[in-house]
């Protein structure tokens, strides 16, 4: 405002000075006074009102110049000064307007071009970011092919679990820690199968999961928590007891049909770190991983069928003898004692003859159930029809005798009802120890078998040693 007022005052001052000069020239000459005064006043007023500061300067200057020129000319040119005056002003004004008009057009066009350039730059940057994002997504999804091939070639449960976690970290990324839970189908609860924590390796203690894992387990849905402190579904106070600090997570169930068989969860210390795209990618990994988990279970079941007895669940004789050979050799190299128990059910033929083969199977299942309670650190086998054997590495003869006696007492204590008749089962056990009684695994079996028959000849329901 101050600048505009200043320009206006200057214009008025210049117009006034010009008017004085023109008037002086008019009055000093013999030219008619009133027409000139009237004309120049009109020119000054018009220029002030319409043309602005710079045009006014031009017209006033032109007025002064023409007035001086006319005042010194002869009277013959007097009649021409008025049309010359107007024509000159009109031509000058028209040229100025044309110049300003073209200048405005050029300026407007330049502004439009600059605006279009900025828009194109923004679109280019946007497309560039989209291209980088698409390339990154493409690389991530292409890597899923390797996940499929790796997991399909992995059969053991431990390797499958590790590969699932490794691929989740490598493909999804963005994670400071990860948890993989497997479901105990008998108890319908979560058990921690594998955990990874890049910053605090020893601080993951959530062995059964927390409220986030319970939610995924019950809802059977994927979960994205952008900020645990702002998510209305979960109370922050529930996490105060955990030593780990995390703000954002993604978690997906591993499904077998409509059943949850596992949960894979990734965590980050910062909020708003994961996106729905990350969750979708984790879901694909979990789908592939679920199939691999099922394959590993089937593989384990197949192995069990090959090495375990279908009735009792104990190892078959062939696999047991291979393990026995390896373990005895290990004890020999490390100067350790090991013991072998040969067990036989007393009067087993009578159970089959009197109660039938179904009753005999019930007796075999009962014996195997008791044996499994005593084989911690050892391996148990169904050696023959009604014969069982147990191998204990790094167990002396004295300890083997104690374990054998506890087995005998536990079986005798177990009551069994066959065709509404309650009865008790007794065992005869032969014990042999390496290297006291034998120098090889074959000889260890022979010695234990000899002691077994020694126990049977001694009245059964007893333990015999050399």
Catalytically annotated residues: 386
User: Residue 268: which region, alpha, beta or left (left: phi > 0; alpha: psi -120 to 50)?
Assistant: beta
Distance CA 126, CA 300 (A): 52
Residue 180 · residue 193 · CB < 8 Å:
yes
Is residue 466 within a helix (H) or strand (E), and if so which, with residue range?
A: none
Report CA torsion sign: 384, 390, 393, 398. Answer: negative
Query: For residue 437, which of 454, 413, 425 has the smallest C-alpha distance?
Result: 454
Inter-residue long-range contacts of 415-422, CB under 8 Å, 24+ positions, other chains counted: 416/362, 416/363, 416/366, 418/351, 418/355, 418/359, 418/362, 419/355, 419/359
Distance CA 339, CA 328 (A): 9
- Per-position DSSP letters for 385-417, written without gaps between them: SSEEEEEEET--HHHHHHHHHHHHHHHHHSEEE
> What count of other Cβ atoms lies within 10 Å of the Cβ of residue 46?
14
Report CA torsion sign: 26, 27, 29, 32. Answer: positive
Q: How many CA atoms lie within 13 A of 403 on its CB side?
A: 27
Kindly give, in sequence order, each residue whose CB lies less than 8 Å from that of residue 278, ignoring residues fewer than 6 positions away: 172, 174, 250
Cα 315 to chain center, whole Å?
41
Cis omega (within 30 of 0) for bond into 435? yes
């Amino acid at each position: 405002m101050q600048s505009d007022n200043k320009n206006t005052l200057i214009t008025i001052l210049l117009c006034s000075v010009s008017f004085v000069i023109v008037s002086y020239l008019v009055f000093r000459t013999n030219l008619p006074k009133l027409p000139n005064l009237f004309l120049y006043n009109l020119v000054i007023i018009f220029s002030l009102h319409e043309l602005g500061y710079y045009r006014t300067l031009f017209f006033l200057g032109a007025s002064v110049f023409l007035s001086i020129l006319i005042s010194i000319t002869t009277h013959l040119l007097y009649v021409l000064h008025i049309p010359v005056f107007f024509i000159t002003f009109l031509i000058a004004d028209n040229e100025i307007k044309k110049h300003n008009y073209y200048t405005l057009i050029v300026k407007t066009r330049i502004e439009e071009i600059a605006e279009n350039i900025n828009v194109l730059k923004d679109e280019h940057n946007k497309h560039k970011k989209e291209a980088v994002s698409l390339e990154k997504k493409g690389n991530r999804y292409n890597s899923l092919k390797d996940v499929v091939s790796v997991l399909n070639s992995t059969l053991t449960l431990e390797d499958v679990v590790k590969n699932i976690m490794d691929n989740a970290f490598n493909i999804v990324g963005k994670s400071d820690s990860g948890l993989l839970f497997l479901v105990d189908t008998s108890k319908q609860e979560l058990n921690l199968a594998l955990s990874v924590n890049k910053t605090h390796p020893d601080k993951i203690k959530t062995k059964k999961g927390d409220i986030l894992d319970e939610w995924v387990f019950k809802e059977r849905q994927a979960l994205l928590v952008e900020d645990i402190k702002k998510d209305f579904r979960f109370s922050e106070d529930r996490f105060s007891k955990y030593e780990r600090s995390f703000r954002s997570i993604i978690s997906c169930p591993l499904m077998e049909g409509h059943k949850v068989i596992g949960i894979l969860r990734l965590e980050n210390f910062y909020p708003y770190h994961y996106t729905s795209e990350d969750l979708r990618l984790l879901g694909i990994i979990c789908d592939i991983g679920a199939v691999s988990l099922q394959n590993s279970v089937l593989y384990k079941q197949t192995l069990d069928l090959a090495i375990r007895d279908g009735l009792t669940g104990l190892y078959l004789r062939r696999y047991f003898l291979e393990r026995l050979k390896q373990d005895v050799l290990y004890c020999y190299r490390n100067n350790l004692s090991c013991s072998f128990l040969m067990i036989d059910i007393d009067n087993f033929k009578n159970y089959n003859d009197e109660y039938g083969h179904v009753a005999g199977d019930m007796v075999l299942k009962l014996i195997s159930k008791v044996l499994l309670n005593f084989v911690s650190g050892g391996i148990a086998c169904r050696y023959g029809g009604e014969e069982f054997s147990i191998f204990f590495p790094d167990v002396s003869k004295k300890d083997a005798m104690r374990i054998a006696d506890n087995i005998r007492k536990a079986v005798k204590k177990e009551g069994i009802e066959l065709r509404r008749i309650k009865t008790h089962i007794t065992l005869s056990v032969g014990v042999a120890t390496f290297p006291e009684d034998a120098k090889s695994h074959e000889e260890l079996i022979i010695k234990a078998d000899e002691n077994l028959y020694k126990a049977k000849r001694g009245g059964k329901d007893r333990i015999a040693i050399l």
